[in-house]
Amino acid sequence: MRAVVLDTNALMMPYQFGINLEKELTRLLGMCRIIVPVTVVEEMERLAEKGGKVGRAAQLGLSIIKKRGFRLMETENRGDDGVIETALKMEAAIVTNDKELKKKAKELQLPIIYLREGEKLELEEIP
Range of the domain at 72: 2-124
- Band of pLDDT at residue 127, cut at 50, 70 and 90: low
Q: Can you give the pTM of this predicted structure? A: 0.92
| 65-78 pLDDT per residue, tens | 988 889 999 999 99
Helix (H) or strand (E) holding 35: strand 32-37
Give me the percent of the chain exceeding a pLDDT of 70: 99
CATH number of the domain to which 59 belongs: 3.40.50.1010
Distance (Å, rounded) from C-alpha 107 to C-alpha 89?
16
The pLDDT of residue 79: 87
Tell me if 123 sits within 8 A of 29, measured CB to CB: yes
Please give the average per-residue pLDDT across 39-63, as a whole number. Answer: 92
Strands of the sheet containing 112-116, edge to edge, are 71-73, 32-37, 2-6, 93-95, 112-116, 120-124
Report how many domains make up the chain: 1
Q: Are strands 93-95 and 2-6 parallel, antiparallel or unpaired?
A: parallel
Tell me if 84 sits within 8 A of 110, measured CB to CB: yes
Q: Is the pLDDT of residue 126 over 80?
A: no
